[in-house]
């Protein structure tokens, strides 16, 4: 069994309603942005005819399609995303990617501040 992964970055703005200190809640409610890094992993055996789990060109093309839905967008308005949390970004990217490439096994999304979320759905 093999696992390959590919990363991509995107810049996006959002708002977020939080239940924390008034100072933190106020800054999150304002429109603000982040640079995100997403990593998509695919898992499976090598295909006998190609020797690959997934052709990386196919993986990159699917990632580019998903990236185009997020990069330089206002995440609050991305259809199907819901509240723009790291968790929901992981699920959104997973759902978009697995519709194109069924071998997707995990998605992680991180920000430069050190925050990271990993989504591995139950098999």
In whole angstroms, give the CA distance from residue 32 to residue 43.
35
Task: Enumerate helices (H) and strands (E) in the chain, giving the number of each.
Answer: 3, 5
Which two structure tokens, joined as six digits, stand for 5?
A: 């992964």
Instruction: Please state, in angstroms and as integers, the Cα–Cα distance from residue 35 to each residue in 21, 99, 111, 112, following that order.
Output: 24, 25, 6, 7
What are the two backbone dihedrals, phi and then psi, of residue 96, each rounded to the nearest 5 degrees? Answer: -65, -45
CA-based nearest residue to 113, from 40, 8, 34, 10: 34
Is the domain covering 2-119 a CATH 3.30.479.10 domain? yes
Domain ranges in the chain are 2-119
pTM of the entire structure?
A: 0.90
3 state DSSP class of 66? helix
**For every one of its 123 residues, what pLDDT tens digit does the chain have, with 9 covering 90 and above?**
999 999 999 999 999 876 656 666 556 667 888 999 999 999 999 999 999 999 999 999 999 999 999 999 999 999 999 999 999 999 999 999 999 999 999 999 999 888 999 999 975
pLDDT at 31: 85
- Please give the span between the terminal C-alpha atoms of the chain, in angstroms, as a whole number: 15
């Amino acid at each position: 069994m093999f696992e390959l992964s590919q990363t991509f970055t995107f810049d996006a703005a959002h708002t977020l309603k939080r239940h924390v200190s008034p100072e933190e809640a106020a800054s999150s409610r304002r429109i603000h942005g982040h640079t995100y890094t997403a990593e998509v992993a695919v898992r499976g055996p090598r295909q006998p005819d190609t020797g690959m789990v997934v052709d990386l060109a196919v993986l990159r093309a699917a990632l580019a399609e998903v990236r185009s839905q997020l990069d330089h967008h206002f995440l609050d308005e991305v259809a199907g995303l819901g509240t723009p949390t790291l968790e929901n970004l992981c699920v959104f990217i997973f759902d978009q990617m697995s519709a194109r490439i069924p071998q997707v096994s995990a998605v992680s999304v991180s920000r430069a501040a050190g925050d990271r979320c990993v989504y591995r759905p139950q098999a």
